[in-house]
Amino acid sequence: MTSTRLKPGAAAILALFCSLCFLGVLASAGAAADDKKAEPAKPALTVTTGRPQSATLPIRLGANGNVAAWQEAVIGSESGGLKLAEVRVNVGDVVKKGQVLAVFSSETVVADVEQARALVQEAQANAAAAEADAQRARALKDTGAFSEQQITQYLTAERTASARVAAAKAGLAQQQLRLKYTQVVAPDSGIISARNATVGAVVGVGTELFRLIRQGRLEWRAEVTAAELVRIKPGAKVAVKAANGSELTGRVRTVGPTIDPQTRNALVYVDLPPSLAANAPFKAGMFASGQFELGESGALTVPTQAIAVRDGFSYVFRLNADQRVSQLKVATGRRLGERVEVVSGLNPDAVIVVSGAGFLNDGDLVRNVPAAAQGALARR
């Protein structure tokens, strides 16, 4: 086998060529690195900025509770042993004071009234005769025509007859009252909340027939802790929101005098605007939440969009002089419209990112543009 060997001159030329190629590769890599270093860093996002603002915010206290009737009247039977002949209202009906709700059969009561009236007439006739006898006895007292015993008997008979007239009239009044009670009337205006009356039933005295929410008035019974109770005063405004989304503005009527030893909460009674409409948004027994208005105080606020919530914590991004942002953890408080109170973690003179805060990370380079220019870009 024949081996090929390079001449010394050729080997030197080949080595020189390889060295030049390697140097060329190194030079190209260095130039690329220099070009890369020369390129400026690109901003991660275009943002708008602003400063925190001082504002006056309302002080509110939140609570939960149930809606209940202000007063629920129990309407019962005042006549015993009578058959219920007619029921004129049902649950949810709006009634007025004095309106007839149900009617009992009155035939037997009418007969008793007529009998009592006849007894009155009889007693009056007997009283008239006794009075005439007594008048004659008085006239003949000094003549000796009647003995003292007879005169006394006539006078006693007169008084007895007069008493019987009074008793007969009382009996008539009682029967007339029974006749009146055959009609069950509403003691006040309101809404029927329950009905136990059934046509044909024979009920006893005091049997519950209806329940009435007086004047359609409801109240919200808020549960408030003992520590917060001292901040609530009668007359304070309360915004109450029901579970169905309906809202009403009420006022504190009174604060409960006792605290439940189990829950350590007290009840605050809030009057809600009365409504006699059957389809009123608030119903007795409904759960509701509310906010007590306890005054106003100053606060440091930022726009809502400047707050970034991550892992359950709130952050804002401060714009530094080098156009990079720093992530600051803050504690938030009250909200009013599109602004949020910052309780701690932010200086009042800091420049913070407003739009785009939710897309930033700590240390990102940003491009800050005025809010007007940002709006023009968005319209494009």
Q: What is the mean pLDDT of residues 195-206?
A: 92
Per-residue pLDDT, 124:
93
- Distance in angstroms (rounded) separating the CA atoms of residues 59 and 341: 12
Say whether domain 45-57+297-379 belongs to CATH 3.30.460.10: no
pLDDT class for 30, splitting at 50, 70, 90?
low
Q: What is the mean pLDDT of residues 19-29?
A: 52
Q: What is the mean pLDDT of residues 318-323?
A: 90
Average pLDDT, the chain: 84
All CATH 2.40.420.20 domain ranges in the chain, comma separated? 45-57+297-379
Question: Which helix (H) or strand (E) covers residue 138, if one does?
Answer: helix 107-139
Residue 91: count of CB within 10 angstroms of its CB:
12
**Which of 52, 101, 51 lies closest to 74 in space, CA to CA?**
101
Rounded to 5°, the CA angle 359-365-369 comes to 80
Per-residue pLDDT, 10:
55
- Distance in angstroms (rounded) separating the CA atoms of residues 162 and 158: 6
All CATH 1.10.287.470 domain ranges in the chain, comma separated? 106-181
Which is higher by pLDDT, 295 or 289? 289
> What does DSSP say about strands 366-368 and 45-50: parallel, antiparallel, or unpaired?
parallel
Residue 339's beta-bridge partner residues?
303, 336
- Segment among 26-40, 127-141, 173-187 with least mean pLDDT: 26-40
User: Is the separation of the CB atoms in 63 and 299 below 8 Å?
Assistant: no
pLDDT at 16 over 60: no
Q: Residue 169: what are its φ and ψ, rounded to 5°?
A: -65, -40
DSSP letter for each residue of 268-302: EEEEPPP---TT-S--TT-EEEEEEEEEEEEEEEE
User: Is the separation of the CB atoms in 374 and 356 below 8 Å?
Assistant: no
All CATH 2.40.50.100 domain ranges in the chain, comma separated? 73-101+188-214
Per-residue pLDDT, 370:
66
pLDDT class for 24, splitting at 50, 70, 90?
low
Q: What is the mean pLDDT of residues 182-210?
A: 93
Residues contacting residue 68 through CB under 8 Å, at least 6 positions apart: 218, 219, 220, 221, 284, 285
In this predicted model, what pLDDT tens digit does every residue of 41-53 receive, in sequence order? Answer: 777 788 888 889 8
pLDDT at 65 over 60: yes
CATH T-level fold of 62-70+215-295? Elongation Factor Tu (Ef-tu); domain 3 (2.40.30)
User: Is the separation of the CB atoms in 95 and 101 below 8 Å?
Assistant: yes
pLDDT class for 1, splitting at 50, 70, 90?
very low
In this predicted model, what pLDDT tens digit does every residue of 216-257 receive, in sequence order? Answer: 899 999 999 988 888 899 999 999 998 888 899 999 999 999
Per-residue pLDDT, 191:
92
Say whether domain 106-181 belongs to CATH 1.10.287.470: yes
Question: Which helix (H) or strand (E) covers residue 257, if one does?
Answer: strand 247-259
CATH T-level fold of 73-101+188-214? OB fold (Dihydrolipoamide Acetyltransferase, E2P) (2.40.50)
**Which of 353, 354, 374 lies closest to 363 in space, CA to CA?**
353
- Distance in angstroms (rounded) separating the CA atoms of residues 119 and 374: 100
pLDDT at 75 over 90: yes
Q: Residue 363: what are its φ and ψ, rounded to 5°?
A: 90, 0
DSSP, collapsed to helix, strand or coil, labels residue 107 as helix
CA distances (Å), origin 62, targets 168, 216, 234, 282, 290: 65, 26, 16, 19, 6
Query: What percentage of residues in the chain have a pLDDT greater than 70?
Result: 86
Per-residue pLDDT, 150:
83
In this predicted model, what pLDDT tens digit does every residue of 249-278 receive, in sequence order? Answer: 999 999 999 999 998 899 999 999 887 766
All CATH 2.40.30.170 domain ranges in the chain, comma separated? 62-70+215-295
